[in-house]
């Protein structure tokens, strides 16, 4: 892949990520709608999901810092996206 290709593909990668995430969560919540381990309110589910995503992104940041420092922009972008979508940045 040429360096300029990554910039051109970024919108499609974001679209693919959103599409996969929405469909995964839709199936997960359909399969677990009667489960006692999930909060019942939509707001509480949103907070739980945000915390999980943020925790995972922070873990990925640590991994990249220790193993591939040139890739830290990927988890940092994810952390910023999470904070922006939560209205905290």
Domain limits, the chain:
1-34, 39-89
> What's the confidence (pLDDT) of residue 88?
63
Q: What is the pLDDT of residues 62-71, one digit of tens each?
A: 999 999 999 9
Q: Nearest-CA neighbor of 85 among 57, 50, 52? A: 50
Average pLDDT of the chain? 91
The token pair that represents 88 in the structure block: 């905290």
Q: Does residue 47 contact residue 54 with C-beta atoms inside 8 Å?
A: no
- Cα dist from 62 to 34, 55, 80, whole Å: 35, 11, 15
Res 6: pLDDT: 80
pLDDT at position 36 over 70: yes
pLDDT at site 3: 73
Q: What is the pTM of this model?
A: 0.77
Average the pLDDT over 25-48 and give the result: 92
């Amino acid at each position: 892949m040429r360096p300029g290709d990554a910039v051109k593909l970024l919108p499609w990668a974001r679209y693919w990520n959103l599409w996969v995430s929405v469909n995964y969560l839709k199936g997960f919540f359909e399969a677990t709608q009667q489960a006692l381990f999930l909060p019942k309110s939509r707001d509480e589910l949103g907070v739980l999901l945000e915390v999980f995503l943020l925790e995972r992104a922070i873990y990925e940041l640590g991994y990249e810092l220790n193993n591939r420092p040139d890739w830290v922009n990927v988890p940092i972008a994810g952390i910023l996206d999470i904070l922006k979508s939560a209205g905290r940045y």
